[in-house]
Amino acid sequence: MKIRKYLSVLLAMILLTGMFGGSSTVVSASAASADEITVTVDGAAYEGSLAILDGGVFAPFEEVFEALGAESVWFEEEEAVAAQKEDALIVMLPGLNYFIKEVDGDGGVIYSMNAAPVIEDGEVLVPVKAAAEAFDYQVVWDEDAQTMTISSGQWLTGSNAPTNAYIYNGVIYYSFIYEPYLYAYDGISTQTYAAGGAPLGIVARENDVYYINQENQCIYVIHTADGSREIVFSELSEISDFSISGNTMVVIGYDSEEVQLVYRVDLTDGAFDILYTWPDPDELIRESGSQFALWKEYLFVVEAISPLISDGVSTCKVLMIDTNTGESREAVHIEGTVARISMTRSRYTNRYGGVSVKFDDSSAWFAIRLTSSNSSGTRSESHYEYYRIELESGLAEAVTEDDYNNASDRTSQSLEEWVYDSNASEVYRTNTESDITETLLEGSNYYYIANDDRWVVVLRAESKGGTPIAAEGYEYAQLYVMDPDGNNLQMIQSYGASPSSSSGSGSSGALEAEACELCSGQGMVFCQYCGGTGRGQTITVLGMPTAQSCTYCGGSDQRLCKGCGGSGQK
């Protein structure tokens, strides 16, 4: 078994290097009891139990890893905790302040942590900060408020990207999370727009670019034709996501009372109303928010509720909301049982654990992960249920895992046969048919951002806090593009103190300055993307064919010569 393999590696490395030692303080928690401490994970309150040991915040391993979206297990014979989230696997041992982390077959890396897991009254407790940081979460401790804030930095794409980029109609729109600017790169030059705050979750549509303003939690639009900017939506205290389908924008977030809401915004006249409100059950519940996906005119909501401190029934529902009419219907309903054993342990079946979704032209495909515990509530196992929801009728049917895996995904960034991604040491692509993985770029601090059939966008960055999502700012940041095969690597934007050397393996070519001979001294050139016609391509936006004006010239058929800045002189 893979986990036992890494247990052996961890123990061997510890014995060879002598990495033994006692634990030290995680955070200087001065609270007299754990009841005075508040922990949040991506804005949701952590409802599990906590303990204060040697000034550090600890929690039962199953509860904290579940809150972090990971599956976990206790190996009795080896006395070790293992947790897995997507392609990352970590292993911890009580009494040792080191853990091993293996990501997508990288062989495993040993990391230190400030405190070691402990066994207290027969229960395995792990340091909350170390558990979160092991899965690349950012942890901030507020001593005065006795609050620990855990953040994954997840934005519109659901990735942990340290910048965001959106490729649309031949232009890369991007931003850095610490700068109040939005950039547009067309393969020749970069246009800069004042964003009024750090832009998050960029989405381009026709000649407009929409984004979340990180500072005031409003959605803005920049009109690229003239660079003007305006607020589109400002009704929520915190915006977590938004999507656009046709002339409808769906905005997800929380109001001032921390109630999760979904608004529908008409982009033609700015009118808005509420499509969905998180239910307010009569009793305490485990989950504190729903998950959403927008496809064509339909908003899909995964709503899960589980009793927190009492026996009862847990539910997982998939709701399908027509954004044109506001009509909602329940397409999938799954129930489970919860039996409380103690204040920190329960026996349960079919508790919601996560979801993956695909969309094709006629259907939505759901893979729902459910967890069930053993009789003593000390261990849990997962299984999946698969469903296909027909868009036209809203009817759902159970399908097999093969059906789900074989379904196409119109929202995927794959190029028919390739899917792109990155880990701690490389940017790579995986063949969807053969599962063969090819390394395109090697080196630390490289992050895959986006791709289309022309470009793969990569960020190389290191923050002053040591991780790309830390709040202190960048030591340096460099945005690169390369072709889908990993060649012709070019840096298109940078700031901060550049690293002394680059370890990228792609073939590099410097960007050439555009000569003013291109405009023959006129200062203006015909737009090369529309050939001077002012018309763009008819593209598919979330499954809907949409006629476009040329993105970069805004339909005017001409643009400034970037070689001379419009002066006509070299």
Provide the 3-class DSSP secondary structure of residue 99: strand
Full 3-state SS string of 500-515: CCCCCCCCECCCCCCC
Q: What is the pLDDT of residue 388?
A: 97
For the chain, the first-to-last Cα distance in angstroms comes to 66
Q: Are strands 80-85 and 71-75 parallel, antiparallel or unpaired?
A: antiparallel
Residue 282 tokens, joined = 């009569």
Full-model pTM: 0.60
Largest Cα span, the chain: 82
Per DSSP (E only), the strands in 349-504 are 351-359, 363-373, 380-390, 396-399, 418-422, 426-431, 437-442, 446-451, 456-463, 474-482, 490-496
Give residue for tokens 């969309």.
Answer: 359
Which residues of the chain, if any, have pLDDT below 50? Answer: 1-2, 16-32, 153-162, 466-472, 498, 500-515, 529, 538-544, 551-552, 564-565, 570
Q: What is the pLDDT of residue 65?
A: 93
Say how far apart CA 437 and CA 422 lie, in whole Å.
11
Q: What is the pLDDT of residue 368?
A: 94
Q: What is the pLDDT of residue 308?
A: 67
Say how far apart CA 473 and CA 359 lie, in whole Å.
37
The domains of the chain, with CATH numbers, are: 2-151 (3.30.457.10), 153-278 (2.120.10.80), 280-409 (no CATH), 421-496 (no CATH), 516-560 (no CATH)
**Contacts for 382-387 with beta carbons within 8 Å, 24 or more apart?**
382/71, 382/353, 385/334, 387/318, 387/331, 387/332
Q: What is the pLDDT of residue 78?
A: 76
Q: What is the pLDDT of residue 214?
A: 84
Say how far apart CA 164 and CA 176 lie, in whole Å.
7
* Digit-coded pLDDT (tens) for 95-116: 888 888 877 655 677 777 888 8
Q: What is the pLDDT of residue 533?
A: 58
Say how far apart CA 515 and CA 563 lie, in whole Å.
5
Say how far apart CA 451 and CA 465 lie, in whole Å.
28
Q: What is the pLDDT of residue 383?
A: 92
Residue 221 pairs in a beta bridge with 210, 230
Instruction: Please name the amino acid found at residue 82.
Output: A
Instruction: Please name the amino acid found at residue 25.
Output: T
Provide the 3-class DSSP secondary structure of residue 418: strand
Q: What is the pLDDT of residue 151?
A: 72
Residue 81 pairs in a beta bridge with 74, 92
Q: Cα 13–14–18 angle (5° rounding)? A: 120
